[in-house]
Amino acid sequence: MQAGKAAEKRRDAARPLQLTMKRGYEVLRDPHLNKGMAFTLEERQQLNIHGLLPPCFLGQDAQVYTILKNFERLTCDLDRYMLLMSLQDRNEKLFYKVLASDIERFMPIVYTPTVGLACQQYGLAFRRPRGLFISIHDRGHIATMLKSWPESVIKAIVVTDGERILGLGDLGCYGMGIPVGKLALYTACGGVKPHECLPVMLDVGTDNEALLKDPLYIGLRHKRIRGQAYDDLLDEFMEAVTSRYGMNCLIQFEDFANANAFRLLHKYRNKYCTFNDDIQGTASVAVAGLLAALRITKNKLSDHTVLFQGAGEAALGIANLIVMAMEKEGIPKDAATKRIWMVDSKGLIVKGRASLTPEKQRFAHEHGEMKNLEDIVKDIKPSVLIGVAAIGGAFTTQILQDMAALNKRPIIFALSNPTSKAECTAEQCYKYTEGRGIFASGSPFDPVTLPSGQTLYPGQGNNSYVFPGVALGVISCGLRHIDEDVFLTTAEVIAQQVTDENLQEGRLYPPLVTIQDVSLKIAVRVAEEAYRNNTASTYPQPKDLEAFIRSQVYSTDYNSFVADSYTWPEEAMKVKL
């Protein structure tokens, strides 16, 4: 008993000391400070919260157990999402401790696919502010609105206008669930400090008629405002953010519609520290899966012909990064580009077809126009088939069988989210390719047991392998601009973490339980290259980059609030009469 108490005292002494001027209810209502019944008797007395808590003392592990028991009682994923979000609202460190305890279990709840359902019902789910809502009518006052946020040091922002939420389309103000979920993974997977993160919703209206008629909708009730007024809002937002938080503040664009996503990325990427996860993050995780798959197919990326079902921001981002990876293997850019084909809503993208955007024109080749995907697969004979068009079931039985007939080991990526939008399931892929398909998906699928008895664990090409590590590296070294090399480097790091055992199990990505280690390795490589290329701004350069970055990582362990009290020499404390 005495030994246990002594060990607990040693742990308390080892905890970082946190000072706060708050007292009483203010402490318990602040999620950054609150640790529930884990406050010691001395802390309760000093913080004036003694009596506001039951006369019981629970360690953090016991609190995690309590949350898990409550989690297991619930049968609906949306209810589980609500449980975890309410925990985030009242006890931040416990929330991240729970996520870290089983990231593979909780990620599908706090992010895709459950977050899609939560966004659709965000009006019902909204309890308290977790970010800033800035509307088109706030132009001229964004700098003032940023001062409403209680934290003065912000190093990462995720911003959306809600026009293209996952594969669900325009959800307007309900899209706020995405920046909140993304930043939760910044911390859970990458260790970025949560109080240095800010989710932002830019509400310019919605074209979703159902929302405009919904009496519970929490956003602006008019059609989307576009054109110059929209651009002015974005310009003012970027200027206000960097003016308040500095040019090193990372601004991640999330779930903007195709037309704006590319345009804003090109407009801001060389002026601010910014990236678009739908374009660049998705590209990085997809290329990571391809690089891992090459260890199965035993050839080069430039030996493959790639066909995309979809030609939006995700497809174009992946295609551009594949071209970079092929160039790195030694083939010219033009030759690499010719190995990539795309299908959009109007069919195969070919030269001479009307109304092609500049981004699509790059991948338009000489060929007759074709509309049917099954016919296109037979004609193009791809070895890699990637779905990013959010058309559920697009990879039909015939297409999967044709891919198997054309290739010894066909590579099939069904990357659309949420699960209902996936082009095929893992089971369908393995079944119709006779177990030879190399499969990855955007949403999680259960393991599949083949007729031979072998069990395969489908790889989930989740962007959470990318953006937490990139963010941690960018923030740690003070990178001012994020170029495409960062995302190719990230893809290479992720692929390198896939073991031969993982590949034999059907995994093209490291197990999610290792994601914190993967994020750290990405951050270190990003920082190393930044210092090598003289693009970092944090100086002097740390002698041990890994140790320095580890020191920046958020701890989910509780801090100690015991006053930092000490005595002076007796002579110095004598009262002078």
Q: With contact defined as beta carbons under 8 Å apart, do 474 and 249 qualify? A: no
For residue 231, give the nearest of 204, 207, 251 by alpha carbon. 204
Of the residues 182, 360, 431, 521, only one is catalytic, namely 182
- The answer to whether the CB of 249 falls within 8 A of the CB of 155 is yes
The residue length of the chain stands at 577
Nearest to 507 by CA among 518, 375, 90: 518
Q: Is 182 a catalytic residue?
A: yes
Rounded to the nearest 10 degrees, the angle between the axes of helix 467-477 and helix 177-190 is 70
Euclidean distance between CA atoms 507 and 494, whole angstroms: 12
Q: Which two tokens stand for residue 158?
A: 């995720």
Compute how many other C-beta atoms are within 10 angstroms of the C-beta atom of residue 397. 13
CA atoms of 288 and 487, how far apart (whole Å): 10
Distance CA 526, CA 486 (A): 6
Which neighbouring-strand residues pair with 412?
Answer: 385, 439
Q: Which tokens sit at 385?
A: 């088939």
At 469 the three-state DSSP class reads helix
* Contact of 487 with 280, CB cutoff 8 Å: yes
Q: Is 111 a catalytic residue?
A: yes
Secondary structure (DSSP) of 477-516: HT-S---HHHHHHHHHHHHHT--HHHHHTT-SS--GGGHH
| Catalytic entry in 81, 96, 97, 111 | 111
Collect all residues with Cβ–Cβ distance below 8 Å to 528 and sequence separation of at least 6. 545
Six token digits for residue 318: 């992946």
Bridge-based pairing state of the strands 274-276 and 250-253:
parallel
- Single-letter residue type at 393: G
270: left (phi over 0), alpha (psi -120 to 50) or beta: alpha
The answer to whether 433 and 403 have CB atoms below 8 angstroms apart is yes
Geometric angle at alpha carbon 271, from 269 and 277, rounded to 5°: 25
Tokens of 316: 């174009």
Active site residues: 111, 182
